[in-house]
Protein backbone atom coordinates (compact mmCIF):
# COMPACT_ATOMS: atom_id res chain seq x y z
CA UNK A 1 0.00 0.00 0.00
CA UNK A 2 1.49 3.28 -1.01
CA UNK A 3 1.08 5.72 1.83
CA UNK A 4 0.41 9.32 1.01
CA UNK A 5 -1.29 8.87 -2.35
CA UNK A 6 -4.58 7.44 -1.16
CA UNK A 7 -8.04 8.16 -2.42
CA UNK A 8 -9.11 8.40 1.21
CA UNK A 9 -6.57 10.72 2.78
CA UNK A 10 -4.37 13.61 1.90
CA UNK A 11 -0.64 13.26 2.55
CA UNK A 12 -0.45 13.58 6.35
CA UNK A 13 1.52 16.40 7.89
CA UNK A 14 3.79 16.13 10.94
CA UNK A 15 0.97 16.63 13.46
CA UNK A 16 -1.28 14.03 11.84
CA UNK A 17 1.63 11.63 11.61
CA UNK A 18 2.22 12.05 15.34
CA UNK A 19 -1.48 11.44 15.99
CA UNK A 20 -1.41 8.29 13.89
CA UNK A 21 1.67 7.14 15.78
CA UNK A 22 -0.27 7.56 19.05
CA UNK A 23 -3.23 5.59 17.63
CA UNK A 24 -0.78 2.90 16.54
CA UNK A 25 0.61 2.54 20.05
CA UNK A 26 -2.87 2.58 21.61
CA UNK A 27 -4.10 -0.09 19.20
CA UNK A 28 -1.01 -2.20 19.85
CA UNK A 29 -1.54 -1.99 23.61
CA UNK A 30 -5.20 -2.96 23.14
CA UNK A 31 -4.23 -5.90 20.95
CA UNK A 32 -1.60 -7.16 23.39
CA UNK A 33 -4.04 -6.81 26.30
CA UNK A 34 -6.59 -8.76 24.26
CA UNK A 35 -4.14 -11.56 23.47
CA UNK A 36 -2.95 -11.80 27.09
CA UNK A 37 -6.60 -11.81 28.20
CA UNK A 38 -7.33 -14.61 25.72
CA UNK A 39 -4.39 -16.59 27.08
CA UNK A 40 -5.59 -16.27 30.67
CA UNK A 41 -9.16 -17.04 29.62
CA UNK A 42 -8.11 -20.24 27.84
CA UNK A 43 -5.86 -21.15 30.76
CA UNK A 44 -8.70 -20.62 33.24
CA UNK A 45 -10.96 -22.86 31.16
CA UNK A 46 -8.28 -25.54 31.20
CA UNK A 47 -7.79 -25.50 27.43
CA UNK A 48 -4.01 -25.28 27.48
CA UNK A 49 -3.32 -28.56 29.27
CA UNK A 50 -1.02 -31.06 27.63
CA UNK A 51 -3.68 -33.81 27.53
CA UNK A 52 -5.89 -31.77 25.19
CA UNK A 53 -3.07 -31.21 22.73
CA UNK A 54 -1.47 -34.62 23.09
CA UNK A 55 -3.19 -36.26 20.06
CA UNK A 56 -1.58 -33.73 17.75
CA UNK A 57 1.94 -34.71 18.78
CA UNK A 58 1.16 -38.44 18.88
CA UNK A 59 2.52 -40.11 15.72
CA UNK A 60 -0.57 -42.28 15.07
CA UNK A 61 -2.91 -39.33 15.09
CA UNK A 62 -0.52 -37.21 13.09
CA UNK A 63 -0.48 -39.95 10.45
CA UNK A 64 -4.29 -40.12 10.55
CA UNK A 65 -4.51 -36.36 10.09
CA UNK A 66 -2.00 -36.55 7.26
CA UNK A 67 -4.03 -39.25 5.56
CA UNK A 68 -7.22 -37.22 6.01
CA UNK A 69 -5.42 -34.26 4.51
CA UNK A 70 -4.34 -36.30 1.48
CA UNK A 71 -7.89 -37.63 1.02
CA UNK A 72 -9.21 -34.08 1.15
CA UNK A 73 -6.72 -32.87 -1.45
CA UNK A 74 -7.48 -35.92 -3.59
CA UNK A 75 -11.22 -35.16 -3.46
CA UNK A 76 -10.65 -31.51 -4.35
CA UNK A 77 -8.27 -32.31 -7.22
CA UNK A 78 -10.49 -35.04 -8.68
CA UNK A 79 -13.48 -32.71 -8.44
CA UNK A 80 -11.66 -29.81 -10.09
CA UNK A 81 -10.32 -31.99 -12.90
CA UNK A 82 -13.80 -33.37 -13.61
CA UNK A 83 -15.21 -29.85 -13.23
CA UNK A 84 -12.77 -28.59 -15.88
CA UNK A 85 -14.16 -31.01 -18.44
CA UNK A 86 -17.73 -30.26 -17.42
CA UNK A 87 -17.00 -26.53 -17.38
CA UNK A 88 -15.39 -26.43 -20.83
CA UNK A 89 -18.32 -28.34 -22.34
CA UNK A 90 -20.88 -26.02 -20.72
CA UNK A 91 -18.80 -22.91 -21.41
CA UNK A 92 -18.52 -23.74 -25.11
CA UNK A 93 -22.22 -24.62 -25.03
CA UNK A 94 -23.08 -21.20 -23.67
CA UNK A 95 -21.08 -19.54 -26.46
CA UNK A 96 -22.71 -21.66 -29.15
CA UNK A 97 -24.42 -20.06 -32.13
CA UNK A 98 -27.30 -22.50 -31.81
CA UNK A 99 -30.05 -21.53 -29.44
CA UNK A 100 -30.92 -25.19 -28.70
CA UNK A 101 -27.40 -25.70 -27.32
CA UNK A 102 -27.01 -22.30 -25.69
CA UNK A 103 -30.23 -22.26 -23.65
CA UNK A 104 -29.92 -25.70 -22.01
CA UNK A 105 -26.25 -25.00 -21.20
CA UNK A 106 -27.17 -21.68 -19.60
CA UNK A 107 -30.00 -23.33 -17.67
CA UNK A 108 -27.74 -26.07 -16.30
CA UNK A 109 -25.06 -23.55 -15.30
CA UNK A 110 -27.61 -21.27 -13.62
CA UNK A 111 -29.23 -24.18 -11.77
CA UNK A 112 -26.07 -25.63 -10.26
CA UNK A 113 -24.76 -22.21 -9.28
CA UNK A 114 -27.99 -21.21 -7.53
CA UNK A 115 -28.54 -24.42 -5.55
CA UNK A 116 -26.54 -24.75 -2.32
CA UNK A 117 -23.76 -27.28 -2.71
CA UNK A 118 -24.77 -29.07 0.49
CA UNK A 119 -28.33 -29.58 -0.79
CA UNK A 120 -26.87 -31.05 -3.96
CA UNK A 121 -24.51 -33.35 -2.04
CA UNK A 122 -27.28 -34.56 0.28
CA UNK A 123 -29.50 -35.26 -2.72
CA UNK A 124 -26.79 -37.18 -4.58
CA UNK A 125 -25.85 -39.10 -1.47
CA UNK A 126 -29.39 -40.13 -0.53
CA UNK A 127 -30.41 -40.92 -4.10
CA UNK A 128 -27.34 -42.53 -5.64
CA UNK A 129 -24.84 -42.83 -2.80
CA UNK A 130 -26.28 -44.99 -0.03
CA UNK A 131 -26.52 -48.76 -0.06
CA UNK A 132 -24.92 -50.23 -3.16
CA UNK A 133 -24.50 -46.77 -4.67
CA UNK A 134 -21.44 -44.65 -5.33
CA UNK A 135 -20.79 -43.95 -1.64
CA UNK A 136 -20.16 -40.73 0.24
CA UNK A 137 -16.73 -40.00 -1.27
CA UNK A 138 -18.03 -39.90 -4.83
CA UNK A 139 -21.25 -38.14 -3.79
CA UNK A 140 -19.12 -35.24 -2.56
CA UNK A 141 -16.85 -35.34 -5.61
CA UNK A 142 -19.79 -35.36 -8.06
CA UNK A 143 -21.50 -32.54 -6.15
CA UNK A 144 -18.28 -30.51 -6.24
CA UNK A 145 -17.87 -31.29 -9.93
CA UNK A 146 -21.35 -30.05 -10.83
CA UNK A 147 -21.02 -26.85 -8.80
CA UNK A 148 -17.42 -25.96 -9.65
CA UNK A 149 -17.95 -27.01 -13.26
CA UNK A 150 -20.75 -24.47 -13.56
CA UNK A 151 -18.58 -21.76 -12.02
CA UNK A 152 -15.70 -22.72 -14.33
CA UNK A 153 -18.07 -22.55 -17.30
CA UNK A 154 -18.69 -18.91 -16.40
CA UNK A 155 -14.96 -18.26 -15.91
CA UNK A 156 -14.31 -19.92 -19.24
CA UNK A 157 -16.92 -17.80 -21.01
CA UNK A 158 -15.51 -14.66 -19.39
CA UNK A 159 -12.02 -15.71 -20.53
CA UNK A 160 -13.11 -16.14 -24.16
CA UNK A 161 -15.03 -12.87 -24.06
CA UNK A 162 -12.00 -11.07 -22.60
CA UNK A 163 -9.98 -11.80 -25.75
CA UNK A 164 -9.80 -9.02 -28.31
CA UNK A 165 -12.52 -9.65 -30.95
CA UNK A 166 -9.89 -9.19 -33.66
CA UNK A 167 -8.47 -12.60 -32.79
CA UNK A 168 -11.58 -14.48 -33.90
CA UNK A 169 -12.21 -12.10 -36.79
CA UNK A 170 -8.69 -12.57 -38.16
CA UNK A 171 -9.04 -16.33 -37.86
CA UNK A 172 -12.33 -16.30 -39.77
CA UNK A 173 -10.76 -13.98 -42.35
CA UNK A 174 -8.01 -16.50 -43.16
CA UNK A 175 -10.72 -19.10 -43.72
CA UNK A 176 -10.78 -21.08 -40.49
CA UNK A 177 -13.91 -22.90 -39.45
CA UNK A 178 -15.78 -22.32 -36.19
CA UNK A 179 -14.24 -25.34 -34.48
CA UNK A 180 -10.77 -24.39 -35.68
CA UNK A 181 -11.17 -20.83 -34.42
CA UNK A 182 -12.24 -22.12 -31.02
CA UNK A 183 -9.64 -24.86 -30.62
CA UNK A 184 -6.58 -23.27 -32.22
CA UNK A 185 -7.08 -19.55 -31.62
CA UNK A 186 -9.44 -18.78 -28.75
CA UNK A 187 -9.04 -21.73 -26.34
CA UNK A 188 -5.24 -21.63 -25.96
CA UNK A 189 -5.29 -17.90 -25.20
CA UNK A 190 -8.30 -18.10 -22.89
CA UNK A 191 -6.83 -21.00 -20.92
CA UNK A 192 -3.75 -18.93 -20.19
CA UNK A 193 -5.71 -16.14 -18.55
CA UNK A 194 -8.01 -18.64 -16.86
CA UNK A 195 -5.32 -20.59 -15.02
CA UNK A 196 -5.12 -18.33 -11.93
CA UNK A 197 -8.91 -18.30 -11.63
CA UNK A 198 -8.89 -22.10 -11.88
CA UNK A 199 -6.34 -22.36 -9.07
CA UNK A 200 -8.47 -20.00 -6.96
CA UNK A 201 -11.39 -22.31 -7.65
CA UNK A 202 -9.26 -25.12 -6.19
CA UNK A 203 -9.23 -23.17 -2.91
CA UNK A 204 -13.03 -23.03 -3.00
CA UNK A 205 -13.25 -26.74 -3.82
CA UNK A 206 -10.81 -27.62 -1.05
CA UNK A 207 -12.86 -25.69 1.50
CA UNK A 208 -16.07 -27.27 0.21
CA UNK A 209 -14.76 -30.84 0.59
CA UNK A 210 -15.43 -30.26 4.30
CA UNK A 211 -19.17 -30.53 3.50
CA UNK A 212 -18.61 -34.27 3.27
CA UNK A 213 -18.90 -34.12 7.07
CA UNK A 214 -22.72 -34.24 6.69
CA UNK A 215 -22.71 -37.44 4.61
CA UNK A 216 -19.90 -39.10 6.60
CA UNK A 217 -17.37 -38.83 3.78
CA UNK A 218 -13.67 -39.36 4.60
CA UNK A 219 -11.28 -36.43 4.81
CA UNK A 220 -9.72 -33.95 7.19
CA UNK A 221 -12.91 -32.96 9.05
CA UNK A 222 -13.91 -36.61 9.46
CA UNK A 223 -10.55 -37.38 11.10
CA UNK A 224 -11.04 -34.29 13.27
CA UNK A 225 -14.45 -35.53 14.38
CA UNK A 226 -13.12 -38.92 15.41
CA UNK A 227 -10.32 -37.22 17.36
CA UNK A 228 -12.60 -34.86 19.27
CA UNK A 229 -15.24 -37.50 19.99
CA UNK A 230 -12.50 -39.60 21.57
CA UNK A 231 -10.58 -36.91 23.47
CA UNK A 232 -13.35 -34.30 23.97
CA UNK A 233 -10.91 -31.61 22.83
CA UNK A 234 -13.17 -29.89 20.30
CA UNK A 235 -11.51 -26.50 20.65
CA UNK A 236 -7.98 -27.74 20.06
CA UNK A 237 -9.07 -29.96 17.15
CA UNK A 238 -10.80 -27.06 15.43
CA UNK A 239 -7.65 -24.95 15.70
CA UNK A 240 -5.48 -27.71 14.20
CA UNK A 241 -7.98 -28.39 11.37
CA UNK A 242 -8.28 -24.69 10.59
CA UNK A 243 -4.50 -24.32 10.53
CA UNK A 244 -4.14 -27.23 8.07
CA UNK A 245 -6.76 -25.77 5.74
CA UNK A 246 -5.30 -22.26 6.00
CA UNK A 247 -1.75 -23.37 5.19
CA UNK A 248 -2.90 -25.47 2.23
CA UNK A 249 -5.06 -22.69 0.83
CA UNK A 250 -2.35 -20.14 1.41
CA UNK A 251 0.08 -22.19 -0.67
CA UNK A 252 -2.55 -22.51 -3.43
CA UNK A 253 -3.13 -18.74 -3.35
CA UNK A 254 0.62 -18.11 -3.61
CA UNK A 255 0.81 -20.41 -6.63
CA UNK A 256 -2.18 -18.61 -8.22
CA UNK A 257 -0.54 -15.22 -7.69
CA UNK A 258 2.76 -16.47 -9.09
CA UNK A 259 1.11 -17.99 -12.17
CA UNK A 260 -0.87 -14.77 -12.62
CA UNK A 261 2.33 -12.69 -12.61
CA UNK A 262 4.28 -15.13 -14.72
CA UNK A 263 1.74 -15.87 -17.46
CA UNK A 264 -0.91 -13.20 -17.41
CA UNK A 265 0.81 -10.02 -16.34
CA UNK A 266 -0.82 -6.95 -14.94
CA UNK A 267 -4.47 -7.55 -15.74
CA UNK A 268 -6.80 -8.57 -12.91
CA UNK A 269 -7.73 -12.16 -12.27
CA UNK A 270 -10.95 -13.19 -13.97
CA UNK A 271 -13.91 -12.90 -11.65
CA UNK A 272 -17.46 -14.04 -12.02
CA UNK A 273 -20.40 -13.04 -9.89
CA UNK A 274 -22.69 -15.37 -7.99
CA UNK A 275 -25.65 -17.05 -9.66
CA UNK A 276 -28.14 -14.63 -11.12
CA UNK A 277 -25.42 -12.09 -11.74
CA UNK A 278 -23.79 -13.66 -14.76
CA UNK A 279 -24.01 -10.54 -16.87
CA UNK A 280 -22.16 -8.43 -14.37
CA UNK A 281 -18.84 -10.20 -14.44
CA UNK A 282 -17.20 -7.22 -16.08
CA UNK A 283 -18.40 -5.06 -13.20
CA UNK A 284 -16.51 -7.28 -10.82
CA UNK A 285 -13.35 -7.26 -12.87
CA UNK A 286 -13.50 -3.48 -13.00
CA UNK A 287 -13.73 -3.29 -9.24
CA UNK A 288 -10.02 -3.96 -9.29
CA UNK A 289 -9.21 -6.16 -6.31
CA UNK A 290 -9.56 -9.82 -5.78
CA UNK A 291 -12.30 -10.28 -3.27
CA UNK A 292 -12.18 -14.04 -3.56
CA UNK A 293 -15.03 -16.47 -3.51
CA UNK A 294 -17.27 -17.05 -0.57
CA UNK B 1 -45.81 -36.73 -3.49
CA UNK B 2 -48.65 -36.60 -0.96
CA UNK B 3 -46.25 -36.18 1.89
CA UNK B 4 -44.61 -33.04 0.55
CA UNK B 5 -47.98 -31.57 -0.44
CA UNK B 6 -49.74 -32.29 2.84
CA UNK B 7 -46.72 -31.20 4.88
CA UNK B 8 -45.90 -28.19 2.77
CA UNK B 9 -45.94 -26.05 5.92
CA UNK B 10 -42.72 -27.89 6.95
CA UNK B 11 -41.08 -26.82 3.68
CA UNK B 12 -42.15 -23.25 4.31
CA UNK B 13 -41.01 -23.29 7.92
CA UNK B 14 -37.64 -24.60 6.74
CA UNK B 15 -37.26 -21.74 4.29
CA UNK B 16 -38.48 -19.30 6.94
CA UNK B 17 -35.54 -20.32 9.16
CA UNK B 18 -33.21 -20.07 6.15
CA UNK B 19 -34.46 -16.55 5.48
CA UNK B 20 -34.14 -15.48 9.12
CA UNK B 21 -30.62 -16.88 9.25
CA UNK B 22 -29.71 -15.16 5.98
CA UNK B 23 -31.24 -11.80 6.95
CA UNK B 24 -29.60 -11.44 10.37
CA UNK B 25 -26.28 -12.86 9.15
CA UNK B 26 -26.28 -10.40 6.26
CA UNK B 27 -26.95 -7.54 8.65
CA UNK B 28 -24.24 -8.67 11.07
CA UNK B 29 -21.73 -9.28 8.26
CA UNK B 30 -22.38 -5.86 6.75
CA UNK B 31 -21.74 -4.14 10.09
CA UNK B 32 -18.62 -6.15 10.98
CA UNK B 33 -17.41 -6.05 7.37
CA UNK B 34 -17.73 -2.25 7.32
CA UNK B 35 -15.74 -2.04 10.57
CA UNK B 36 -13.08 -4.35 9.11
CA UNK B 37 -12.73 -2.33 5.92
CA UNK B 38 -12.50 0.90 7.94
CA UNK B 39 -9.61 -0.65 9.90
CA UNK B 40 -8.05 -2.10 6.78
CA UNK B 41 -7.91 1.06 4.70
CA UNK B 42 -7.45 3.40 7.67
CA UNK B 43 -4.19 5.08 8.67
CA UNK B 44 -3.62 3.09 11.90
CA UNK B 45 -1.17 0.40 10.86
CA UNK B 46 -1.78 -1.96 13.78
CA UNK B 47 -5.52 -2.05 13.07
CA UNK B 48 -4.87 -2.51 9.34
CA UNK B 49 -2.60 -5.46 10.12
CA UNK B 50 -5.19 -6.94 12.48
CA UNK B 51 -8.02 -6.61 9.94
CA UNK B 52 -5.87 -8.03 7.13
CA UNK B 53 -4.87 -11.05 9.22
CA UNK B 54 -8.48 -11.68 10.26
CA UNK B 55 -9.63 -11.51 6.63
CA UNK B 56 -6.92 -13.84 5.36
CA UNK B 57 -7.30 -16.37 8.17
CA UNK B 58 -11.09 -16.64 8.01
CA UNK B 59 -11.28 -16.60 4.21
CA UNK B 60 -9.05 -19.66 4.00
CA UNK B 61 -10.97 -21.62 6.65
CA UNK B 62 -13.96 -23.73 5.57
CA UNK B 63 -17.27 -22.50 6.96
CA UNK B 64 -17.89 -25.97 8.34
CA UNK B 65 -14.80 -25.70 10.55
CA UNK B 66 -16.09 -22.40 11.95
CA UNK B 67 -19.44 -24.10 12.58
CA UNK B 68 -17.60 -26.82 14.55
CA UNK B 69 -15.79 -24.08 16.48
CA UNK B 70 -19.01 -22.31 17.49
CA UNK B 71 -21.23 -25.36 18.01
CA UNK B 72 -18.68 -27.79 19.53
CA UNK B 73 -15.65 -25.68 20.53
CA UNK B 74 -17.38 -22.77 22.27
CA UNK B 75 -19.34 -24.96 24.74
CA UNK B 76 -15.98 -26.34 25.90
CA UNK B 77 -15.04 -22.74 26.75
CA UNK B 78 -18.43 -22.13 28.44
CA UNK B 79 -19.25 -19.66 25.67
CA UNK B 80 -22.76 -19.32 24.15
CA UNK B 81 -24.09 -22.09 26.37
CA UNK B 82 -27.89 -22.22 26.22
CA UNK B 83 -27.99 -19.79 23.30
CA UNK B 84 -30.65 -20.73 20.71
CA UNK B 85 -29.24 -22.56 17.69
CA UNK B 86 -30.49 -19.83 15.38
CA UNK B 87 -28.40 -17.21 17.20
CA UNK B 88 -25.35 -19.49 17.14
CA UNK B 89 -25.89 -19.96 13.41
CA UNK B 90 -26.05 -16.20 12.91
CA UNK B 91 -22.84 -15.72 14.92
CA UNK B 92 -21.07 -18.35 12.80
CA UNK B 93 -22.29 -16.95 9.50
CA UNK B 94 -21.25 -13.44 10.57
CA UNK B 95 -17.74 -14.55 11.58
CA UNK B 96 -17.33 -16.21 8.19
CA UNK B 97 -19.03 -13.71 5.87
CA UNK B 98 -17.71 -10.40 7.25
CA UNK B 99 -14.22 -10.77 5.65
CA UNK B 100 -15.85 -11.27 2.26
CA UNK B 101 -18.00 -8.18 2.84
CA UNK B 102 -14.81 -6.31 3.82
CA UNK B 103 -13.14 -7.32 0.56
CA UNK B 104 -16.19 -6.38 -1.54
CA UNK B 105 -16.30 -2.93 0.08
CA UNK B 106 -12.57 -2.52 -0.37
CA UNK B 107 -12.96 -3.33 -4.05
CA UNK B 108 -15.49 -0.48 -4.15
CA UNK B 109 -13.12 1.97 -2.45
CA UNK B 110 -10.26 0.98 -4.74
CA UNK B 111 -12.40 1.53 -7.80
CA UNK B 112 -12.69 5.27 -7.06
CA UNK B 113 -10.10 7.08 -9.10
CA UNK B 114 -7.44 9.00 -7.25
CA UNK B 115 -8.16 12.12 -9.30
CA UNK B 116 -11.67 12.30 -7.83
CA UNK B 117 -10.39 12.76 -4.29
CA UNK B 118 -7.54 15.01 -5.43
CA UNK B 119 -9.94 17.26 -7.31
CA UNK B 120 -12.23 17.43 -4.28
CA UNK B 121 -9.32 18.46 -2.05
CA UNK B 122 -8.06 20.89 -4.66
CA UNK B 123 -11.30 22.85 -4.63
CA UNK B 124 -11.03 23.06 -0.84
CA UNK B 125 -13.46 20.40 0.36
CA UNK B 126 -12.85 19.20 3.90
CA UNK B 127 -12.16 15.54 4.70
CA UNK B 128 -15.83 15.04 5.66
CA UNK B 129 -17.08 16.65 2.46
CA UNK B 130 -14.67 14.70 0.29
CA UNK B 131 -15.82 11.46 1.88
CA UNK B 132 -19.57 12.02 1.92
CA UNK B 133 -19.92 13.91 -1.36
CA UNK B 134 -17.29 12.41 -3.61
CA UNK B 135 -15.56 9.20 -2.51
CA UNK B 136 -18.17 7.16 -0.62
CA UNK B 137 -21.08 7.63 -3.07
CA UNK B 138 -18.91 6.21 -5.85
CA UNK B 139 -17.40 3.50 -3.66
CA UNK B 140 -20.80 2.29 -2.46
CA UNK B 141 -22.16 2.13 -6.00
CA UNK B 142 -19.16 0.13 -7.16
CA UNK B 143 -19.53 -2.27 -4.21
CA UNK B 144 -23.07 -3.32 -5.10
CA UNK B 145 -22.24 -6.13 -7.59
CA UNK B 146 -19.51 -7.79 -5.47
CA UNK B 147 -21.59 -7.35 -2.31
CA UNK B 148 -24.56 -9.01 -3.98
CA UNK B 149 -22.32 -11.94 -4.92
CA UNK B 150 -21.26 -12.23 -1.30
CA UNK B 151 -24.82 -12.08 0.05
CA UNK B 152 -26.04 -14.68 -2.45
CA UNK B 153 -23.20 -17.03 -1.59
CA UNK B 154 -23.90 -16.45 2.10
CA UNK B 155 -27.58 -17.33 1.67
CA UNK B 156 -26.58 -20.59 0.01
CA UNK B 157 -24.08 -21.22 2.80
CA UNK B 158 -26.81 -21.05 5.44
CA UNK B 159 -27.57 -24.63 4.34
CA UNK B 160 -24.53 -25.76 6.35
CA UNK B 161 -26.49 -24.96 9.52
CA UNK B 162 -28.41 -28.16 8.74
CA UNK B 163 -25.34 -30.17 9.76
CA UNK B 164 -25.59 -28.70 13.26
CA UNK B 165 -29.25 -29.37 13.94
CA UNK B 166 -30.98 -26.25 12.67
CA UNK B 167 -34.23 -27.28 10.95
CA UNK B 168 -33.74 -25.03 7.95
CA UNK B 169 -34.52 -25.93 4.34
CA UNK B 170 -31.65 -28.34 3.68
CA UNK B 171 -32.30 -30.26 6.91
CA UNK B 172 -36.00 -30.44 5.96
CA UNK B 173 -35.10 -31.84 2.55
CA UNK B 174 -33.07 -34.57 4.21
CA UNK B 175 -36.04 -35.38 6.46
CA UNK B 176 -38.50 -35.55 3.58
CA UNK B 177 -36.12 -37.67 1.49
CA UNK B 178 -35.62 -40.15 4.34
CA UNK B 179 -39.39 -40.61 4.65
CA UNK B 180 -40.24 -40.77 0.94
CA UNK B 181 -37.60 -42.67 -0.95
CA UNK B 182 -39.68 -42.70 -4.16
CA UNK B 183 -40.04 -38.96 -4.53
CA UNK B 184 -36.40 -37.97 -4.01
CA UNK B 185 -36.05 -36.09 -7.27
CA UNK B 186 -39.31 -34.19 -6.85
CA UNK B 187 -38.39 -33.25 -3.27
CA UNK B 188 -34.94 -32.09 -4.39
CA UNK B 189 -36.44 -29.97 -7.16
CA UNK B 190 -38.95 -28.36 -4.77
CA UNK B 191 -36.20 -27.32 -2.35
CA UNK B 192 -33.81 -26.32 -5.14
CA UNK B 193 -36.56 -24.11 -6.57
CA UNK B 194 -36.99 -22.46 -3.16
CA UNK B 195 -33.31 -21.53 -3.07
CA UNK B 196 -33.37 -20.37 -6.69
CA UNK B 197 -36.30 -18.05 -5.90
CA UNK B 198 -34.38 -16.53 -2.97
CA UNK B 199 -31.18 -16.12 -5.03
CA UNK B 200 -33.05 -14.53 -7.95
CA UNK B 201 -34.88 -12.20 -5.54
CA UNK B 202 -31.59 -10.96 -4.09
CA UNK B 203 -30.04 -10.45 -7.51
CA UNK B 204 -33.21 -8.71 -8.70
CA UNK B 205 -33.07 -6.35 -5.72
CA UNK B 206 -29.43 -5.62 -6.51
CA UNK B 207 -30.30 -4.93 -10.13
CA UNK B 208 -33.01 -2.45 -9.08
CA UNK B 209 -30.60 -0.76 -6.69
CA UNK B 210 -27.96 -0.44 -9.37
CA UNK B 211 -30.43 0.98 -11.85
CA UNK B 212 -31.68 3.49 -9.31
CA UNK B 213 -28.19 4.61 -8.41
CA UNK B 214 -26.87 4.69 -11.95
CA UNK B 215 -25.19 7.98 -12.80
CA UNK B 216 -24.20 9.55 -16.05
CA UNK B 217 -20.46 9.65 -16.50
Listing DSSP states for chain B in one string gives -HHHHHTHHHHHHHHHHHHHHHHHHHHHHHHHHHHHHHHHHSS-HHHHHHHHHHHHHHHTS-HHHHHHIIIIIHHHTT-STT--HHHHHHHHHHHHHHHHHHHHHHHHHHHS-HHHHHHHHHTT--HHHIIIIIIHHHHHHHHHHHHHHHHHHHHHHGGGGGGGT--SHHHHHHHHHHH-GGGHHHHHHHHHHHHHHHHHHHHHHHHHHHHHH----
Is residue A1 one of the residues assigned to a domain? Answer: no
Question: Are residues B114 and A23, on separate chains, in Cβ contact within 8 Å?
Answer: no
Summarize pLDDT for A95-144 with one digit per residue, the tens: 998 999 999 999 999 999 999 999 999 999 999 988 788 999 999 999 99
Domain range summary for chain B, segments of one domain joined by +: 17-167
What's the whole-number mean pLDDT along residues A223-237? 92
Total residues belonging to chain B: 217
A10/chain B closest Cα distance in angstroms: 8
Query: Which of A126, A250, A287 has its CB closest to that of B184?
Result: A126
- Of residues B155 and A291, more confidence is placed in B155
Return the CATH number of the domain spanning residue range B17-167: 1.10.3720.10
Chain B hits for A286, Cβ within 8 Å: 111, 142
* Candidates B52, B58, B76, B196, partner chain A, best to mutate (most A CBs within 10 A): B76
Give B99's pLDDT tier (boundaries 50, 70, 90): very high
Backbone dihedral angles phi then psi of residue B3, each to the nearest 5 degrees:
-60, -45
Residues of B in contact with A294 (CB under 8 A): 97, 100, 149-150, 153-154, 157
Q: Which residues contact A256 (CB under 8 A, 6 or more apart)?
A: A196, A199, A200, A203, A269
B73 to chain A, any CB pair closer than 8 A? The answer is yes
Q: Is B41 in the A-facing interface, judged by CB distances under 8 Å?
A: yes
Q: Does A69 touch chain B (CB under 8 A)?
A: no
**Which domain, by its residues, includes A229?**
70-286
Residues 6+ apart with CB under 8 A from A154: A91, A109, A113, A272, A278, A281
A55 is a domain residue = no
Kindly state whether residue A228 falls inside one of the protein's structural domains: yes
pLDDT at A291: 37
Number of residues assigned to chain A: 294
% of chain A with per-residue pLDDT over 70? 89
Which CATH number is A162's domain given? 1.10.3720.10
Set of chain A residues whose Cβ sits within 8 Å of the Cβ of B199 = 114, 274-276
Taking the C-alpha atoms of residue A195 and residue B164, their distance in angstroms, rounded to an integer, is 36
Nearest to B130 by CA among A14, A10, A3: A10
Q: Residue A294 is nearest to which of B135, B154, B192, comparing CB atoms?
A: B154
pLDDT bin (cut points 50, 70, 90) of residue A293 is low
Question: What does the pLDDT average to over A231-253?
Answer: 93
A248 in any annotated domain = yes
* pLDDT one-digit tens code per residue, A182-219: 999 998 888 888 888 888 888 999 999 999 999 999 99
Instruction: List pLDDT tens digits, range B171-198.
Output: 999 989 888 878 889 999 999 999 999 9
CB B149 to CB A284 under 8 A?
yes
- Give me the phi and psi of A132, to 5 degrees please: -85, 15
Report d(CA A92, CA A241) in Å as an integer: 38
| Domain count within chain A | 1
Amino acid sequence: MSRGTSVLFDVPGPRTRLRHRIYDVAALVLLVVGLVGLYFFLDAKGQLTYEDWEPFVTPEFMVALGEGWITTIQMALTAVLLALVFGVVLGVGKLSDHRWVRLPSALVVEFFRAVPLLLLIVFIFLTYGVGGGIGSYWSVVIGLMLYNGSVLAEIFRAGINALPPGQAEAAYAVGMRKTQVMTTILLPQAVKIMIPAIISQCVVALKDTSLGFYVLAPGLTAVGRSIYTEFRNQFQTVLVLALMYIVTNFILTLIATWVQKRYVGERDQLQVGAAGLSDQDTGLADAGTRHGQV
Amino acid sequence: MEDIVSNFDLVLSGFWITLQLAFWSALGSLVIGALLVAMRVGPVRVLALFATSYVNIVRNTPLLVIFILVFAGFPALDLLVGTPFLVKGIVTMTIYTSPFVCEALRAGVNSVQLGQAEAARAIGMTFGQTMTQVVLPQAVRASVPPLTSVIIAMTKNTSIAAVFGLAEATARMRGFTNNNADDRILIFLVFALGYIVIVEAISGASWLLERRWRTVR
